[in-house]
Amino acid sequence: MKKLLFLILTATMLFSCTNNELVKEESVERGVLRIHEGKFAFCGASSAVPTGRKITIQGQEFQEGCAICPVMDGPSISNLAMYGSGGTWGEFNVANNFQTPDGTDKTIWSLFWYYDTTTKIPQFNPSSKSWEMMTPKNRMFVINTDNPATSESNMFAMPGVIIDTTESGIVLAKVYGPLNEDAVPLRIAIPVKNGQTSVTAAKEGFPYPVGTPIPTNHK
C-alpha cells in the first residue's frame, strides 16, 4: 500500500503532464525519493521573501528565500539527493540526516505531500492576518522572474527551524531555500525560465510562491 501511494504521489508531484520521455525520467528520479514518517514542514501553500543571502544547491548558487510553513505530522516524500550550503542555514544533506536537518526536534525538513480540496490544511489567511485551517487551492501560473509574484521559490527537501505555535495550535517553521530554482530534476539544480508553467497552492499576488514548474523534457 505504501509503495503504491508513493508511486501515485510521485507521479502527481512530478509528472502532471506525462509523455513517454517524462515516464523514462521519472523512473530514474524515483530512486532518490523516499517516504518520510513524522513531522515535516508543508510549504506548498506558502510564499517566500528574499533574505539577501546566497544559497548553494547541489553546487549551483541562487538567491535565498525564507518561507513560513506549517508543521504537519504524517507521511511525506523526501529527496535523498538534496544537499546544499551557504545562506542562513549553512551545510545540509538529506541523505545524511534523514529525519531532521540536525537530528533534533527543533529543526525540520520541508517535504512534499499532496492535499486536494477535500482536505483542510493550515494556511495564512490574508483577510484575518492569521493562520487558519483552510482548503488548499492549487493553481497554475506562468513564470516571469521580473515580478516577485510570478517568480518562484523551491522549498522541497530544504531545512527549517520550528519557530512558533499559534493560539489555535498550529506549529510554524521558517524554511530556507533557493529563489527561482526548479525542483525538477531532483539530482541537479537548474534555474527556472520565463514562460514555464508552475503549480502552487500559495495565494495569488504573494511574492515567490513555493511551487514547481510542470516538468518538460530537459535536454
Residue 202 placed within a domain: yes
Pairwise CA distance, residues 121 & 97, whole Å: 26
Residue 89 placed within a domain: yes
- In the chain, the number of structural domains is 1
Position 117 scores a pLDDT of 86
Residue 48 placed within a domain: yes
Strand spans (E) along the chain:
33-41, 48-57, 60-79, 83-86, 92-93, 107-110, 121-125, 130-134, 139-142, 158-165, 171-178, 181-182, 190-191, 197-200, 211-213
Nearest partner of 215 among 200, 197, 194, 201, judged by Cα: 197
**pTM greater than 0.95 (yes/no):** no
pLDDT at position 174 over 70: yes
Residue 218 placed within a domain: no
Tell me the residue range of the domain where 182 lies: 2-213
Residue 158 placed within a domain: yes
For residue 44, give the 3-state DSSP assignment.
Answer: coil
Residue 141 placed within a domain: yes
Position 214 scores a pLDDT of 84
Q: Does residue 175 contact residue 66 with C-beta atoms inside 8 Å?
A: yes
